[in-house]
Structure 1
Amino acid sequence: MKAEPARQLRLLDLQEVDSGLDRLAHQRATLAAAARVAELSAHAAAARAAVVRAETAVSDIAVELRRAEGDVQLVRDRAARDQARLDAGTGSAKDLQALQHELVSLARRQSELEDIEIEIMERAEAADGDLTGARAELDRLDAELADATAERDAELARISAAEAETAAPRDQLTADVGADLLALYERLRASHSGVGAAPLRQRRCLGCQLEVNASELAAIRAAAPEEVLRCEECGRILVRTPESGL
């Protein structure tokens, strides 16, 4: 392939632009703030699930407590009716004796049910504490997530601005390079870690950082200025510059 020396030199300017864009793309892909947002989002999702579980537990225990309170109240009401009948003294001695026995049984049953009620109330208090703690943890994580999101968005905005500034001359550079040379450059760049063209500086290819051997250097000296050269070691386009040391 042949291309005017000016076109080849413009290729180095294009490579500088593309390398800058690659660096910015790497910054975007490895942004610490973005990783922090992802981490906090996962923790916040787990915290929300914990709040839902805690709310469900509080609700279930509240239903259980209302049921236990109802059971206690039923026994109290029955005991109150029996006590009223006993105090009235109506009925036979056998009936009154039966009421006394029932009141003893009801008192024992009421005590058992009240113990159950107290145990449920203790669990309700613990569940309320768990819910309060879960909500506090979620609030903390949401606040951290908001801060991390703002930091990430600011970093992304900075990178986007830098990308726009870096890419601004690219269209003109590709036009200056020309379609034929650009196609070779893009193909090589895709298979050579983003670097398709490199300068020859002080007899060294700056693409692979290897010094050009004597025979290759002689071939480069003999080549016409329009000849598009390739590094024998890395295969990239090798652009001659005033600093090539020829």
Structure 2
Amino acid sequence: MPNAPAADQRRLLDVQALDTRLDQLAHRRRTLPELARIAELESQLADLHTALVTSQTAVADLRRELAKAEADVQQVRDRAARNQARLDAGQGSAKDLQALQHELESLAKRQGDLEEVELEVMERLEAHEAALAEVTAAHTQLVDGKVQVESERDAAFAQIDAEVAGVQSERATAAAGLDAGLTALYDRLRGQLGGQGAAALRGRRCEGCRLELNPLDLDAIKAKPEDAVVRCEECGRILVLLPEDH
């Protein structure tokens, strides 16, 4: 068991308190409620994006379908107009004019059928455009909400990071000049024991594991030299005796 000045061991408790604070800040940074909210919004956006793309595709397809229907109607109208002009001009034989009259009747029926198709496509397009507008508005609202929460997250990060910088500065001051062997042992134990490598002995209780030492072990510890580095028999942490307990 290494030895280290008693004053260094007591200062180690200050270092431990600051390290615990840094661990708490790191945990707080990892578990900010804004992070969970952002993840939730991203999941909702992913689901809504699929609906948005589907709706956009449907609208684009219907617009193309409507354009074709309008073109078909216009083509029949143009042909009917040409035939009507020829009929009005009396061009051709009686047989030709009769054929033109029959074709005009057929074109009128054809135009009526095509206009029904056009109207049906327009109605479907109108419904899909309304649905697209709703999905787009919902998507925009989610995006705006995510931007807002990300801003809140960044503000919280900045606050935590500023606090971390202050605690790190305090820790550097507290750890300056500490016994190298004591520091190395402390760092190793911190990695093994959930972030707490040193604890105070208060009365008979180890503040690390919260268990009480039996009287014989306590007497043996108190009989050791002041610079002896003592380990808790239960949890293995560096056990720091306070002046009134030595």
Q: Which residue number in structure 2 is paired with residue 170 of structure 1? A: 171
Q: Is the 8 A contact 1:33 1:151 kept in 2?
A: yes
Q: Which runs of 5+ in 1 are unaligned?
A: none
Aligned twin of 1:141: 142
Shift of 1:216: 1.2
Q: What secondary structure is seen at the aligned counterpart in 2 of 1:39?
A: helix
Q: Which amino acid aligns with 1:227?
A: A
| Structure 1 residue identity aligned to 2:201 | L
What TM-score does the superposition give when structure 2 sets the normalisation length?
0.91
Aligned residues of 2:5 and 2:179 also touching (Cα < 8 A): no
Change beyond 3 A, Cα 1:230–1:38 = same
Residue in 1 that maps onto 2:19 = 18
Please state how far the C-alpha of 1:37 moved relative to its aligned partner: 2.2
Structure 2 gaps, min length 5? none
- In 1, Cα distance between equivalents of 2:91 and 2:229: 123
Letter in 2 for 1:171: A
Q: How far off its partner does 1:7 sit?
A: 0.9
What's the secondary structure of 1:200's corresponding residue?
strand
Superposed CA offset, 1:81-113 (max 9, x none): 223333344434433332232222212211111
The answer on 1:203 being equivalent to 2:204 is: yes
In structure 2, relative to structure 1, the CA distance for the partners of 1:21 and 1:214 (3 Å cut) is same
Give the corresponding residue for 2:102: 101
Superposed, which structure 2 residues align to 1:4-15 within 5 Å? 4-15=5-16
Structure 2 distance, partners of 1:126, 1:23, is 53
Alignment of 1:1-246 (within 5 A): 1-48=2-49, 50-242=51-243, 244=245
Count of matched residue positions in the alignment of Structure 1 and Structure 2: 245
SS in 1 for 2:176: helix
Structure 2 letter corresponding to 1:174: A
Deviations 1:145-182 (A, max 9, x none): 22211211111111112112222222232223221100
Q: Structure 1 length normalisation: TM-score?
A: 0.91
What is the letter of the counterpart of residue 201 of structure 1?
A: R
Instruction: Quote the Cα distance in structure 2 between the aligned partners of 1:91 and 1:147.
Output: 76
Query: CA offset at residue 58 of structure 1?
Result: 2.8
Q: Secondary structure at the match of 1:195?
A: coil
Please tell me the residue identity of whatever aligns with 1:176.
Answer: G
Q: For residue 40 of structure 1, what is the amino acid of its counterpart?
A: L
Identity of aligned residues (%): 53
Q: Which amino acid aligns with 2:151?
A: A
1:32-72 deviations in whole A, cap 9, x for unaligned?
11221232234345545544443443333222211111110
Instruction: Decide whether aligned partners of structure 1 residues 224 and 167 sit closer, same or farther in structure 2, where only a CA change above 3 A counts.
Output: same
More deviation, 149-158/20-29? 149-158
- Post-superposition offset of 1:243: 5.0
